[in-house]
Amino acid sequence: MTGLLIHSVSEFSDLILEALRLADARSIVEIGAEYGGMSALLAEHCRVQGGQLTSIDPAPKREFLDWVAANPNVRHVAKTSLDAFGKLDSADAWIVDGDHNWYTVYHELRQIEAISHRAGKPVLIFLHDVGWPCGRRDAYYAPDQIPAEYRHPHSYDGGATLDRASLTEGRGFRGMGQFAFATVAGGARNGVMTAIDDFLAEQLGEGKEFGFAEIPAVFGLGVLFDMNAAWSARLAELVLPYHQNKLLRVLETNRLRNYLRVIDMQDEAAARVARPGAA
């Protein structure tokens, strides 16, 4: 059923790669490896530019590791993002598509800003999953790695739906044991977009202004960039037509409603089979 739902950040590859060219980005850090998807496209960009791709993922697929071994311009760091930052000096651009929760994303942004500041490089970050369902709701692949004070009550079995803040047990969009959702959407320190909002507000309070574009398609892409960069005006011109685009948002909502209906139909069929006396 995964073929029914486009979900990869590589769907934005034309936009991301053009932005990387505008920014003359040669060294790129990717948080969350995607073998066969965005990773290969980023690696090819870095090869052409004479740079390096650093991919951070604590447990990638075997195929990814074999691919890294065959590509000398790709480096793999087998750690979680927050543990890996100590091994990173700087980068021209960052792709953030790892754990989709407030604690992780907020601290990733803090670390990226600090590393970039020390290196004297402008910030350029692409963040996936800024829209539904993770924009305002934490998802946890490993809840025990999130400090208790930042970890929301969560469920592996409850599913998210478009029109309810609470989860629905055994229905809706859910992780099927692979990840847990916060049981309620919204509120403080909850979700990827909330982490971005909090980071930007904090930076503005310190006198640092960043540009940010929200592209409401394929679970949402955020583009966060340094307004003082030499390429910022050209990048802003590139992403502005997509920023909070009404048509894209309507199409995304329609796509998600259709997919959620498919999940409902599957759940209904499974419930009929499970009933005593079912044929």
The CATH number for 43's domain is: 3.40.50.150
What average pLDDT does range 205-217 have in this prediction? 98
Q: What is the pLDDT of residues 6-42, one digit of tens each?
A: 999 999 999 999 999 999 999 999 999 987 789 999 9
Quote the CA–CA distance of 68 and 279 in Å, as a whole number.
50
80 lies in a domain?
yes
Residue 183 has pLDDT above 60, yes or no: yes
What average pLDDT does range 3-8 have in this prediction? 89
Contact predicate 57/33, CB 8 Å: yes
Rounded to two decimals, the pTM is: 0.96
Residues 6+ apart with CB under 8 A from 180: 139, 140, 143, 154, 155, 156
Residue 81 has pLDDT above 70, yes or no: yes
143 lies in a domain?
no
What is the predicted pLDDT for the residue at 172? 97
Q: What angle do CA 32, 208, 99 make, to 5 degrees?
A: 15
> Is the Cα torsion angle 198, 202, 204, 205 positive or negative in sign?
positive
> Mean pLDDT, the chain, as a whole number?
96
Q: Are strands 210-215 and 124-128 parallel, antiparallel or unpaired?
A: unpaired
Quote the CA–CA distance of 19 and 123 in Å, as a whole number.
13
Q: Tokens 């909070």 correspond to what residue?
A: 244
Number of structural domains found in the chain? 1
107: nearest Cα among 189, 36, 230, 49: 189
Q: What's the pLDDT band for 278 if we cut at 50, 70, 90?
A: low
Q: What is the pLDDT of residues 95-116, one digit of tens each?
A: 999 999 999 999 999 999 999 9
Tell me the H-state helices in 185-240: 192-205, 232-239
What is the predicted pLDDT for the residue at 275? 78
Q: Tokens 């390096």 correspond to what residue?
A: 52
Q: Which amino acid is at 134?
A: C
What does the CA dihedral 188, 194, 200, 203 come to, rounded to 10 degrees?
40
Cis, peptide link before residue 58, omega less than 30° from 0: no
**Backbone φ/ψ region at 189: left (φ over 0), alpha (ψ -120 to 50), beta:** left
- Domain extent for 246: 2-138+193-273
Phi–psi pair at 176, nearest 5 degrees: 50, 45
92 lies in a domain?
yes
DSSP summary character for residue 160 = B
6 lies in a domain?
yes
Residue 1 has pLDDT above 90, yes or no: no
Residue 277 has pLDDT above 70, yes or no: no
244 lies in a domain?
yes
Quote the CA–CA distance of 137 and 161 in Å, as a whole number.
12
10 lies in a domain?
yes
What average pLDDT does range 58-81 have in this prediction? 95
Quote the CA–CA distance of 29 and 92 in Å, as a whole number.
8
38 lies in a domain?
yes
Q: What burial class does residue 269 get, using C-beta atoms within 10 Å of its C-beta: 0-12 exposed, 13-18 middle, 19+ buried?
A: exposed
What is the predicted pLDDT for the residue at 279? 54
Residue 3 has pLDDT above 80, yes or no: no
Q: What is the pLDDT of residues 125-164, one digit of tens each?
A: 999 999 999 999 999 999 999 999 999 999 999 999 999 9
What is the predicted pLDDT for the residue at 17? 99
122: nearest Cα among 90, 97, 98: 90
Q: What's the pLDDT band for 274 if we cut at 50, 70, 90?
A: confident
What average pLDDT does range 176-192 have in this prediction? 98
Contact predicate 154/102, CB 8 Å: no
What is the predicted pLDDT for the residue at 35? 78
**Element at 155 (helix H, strand E):** strand 154-155
Quote the CA–CA distance of 181 and 137 in Å, as a whole number.
7
150 lies in a domain?
no
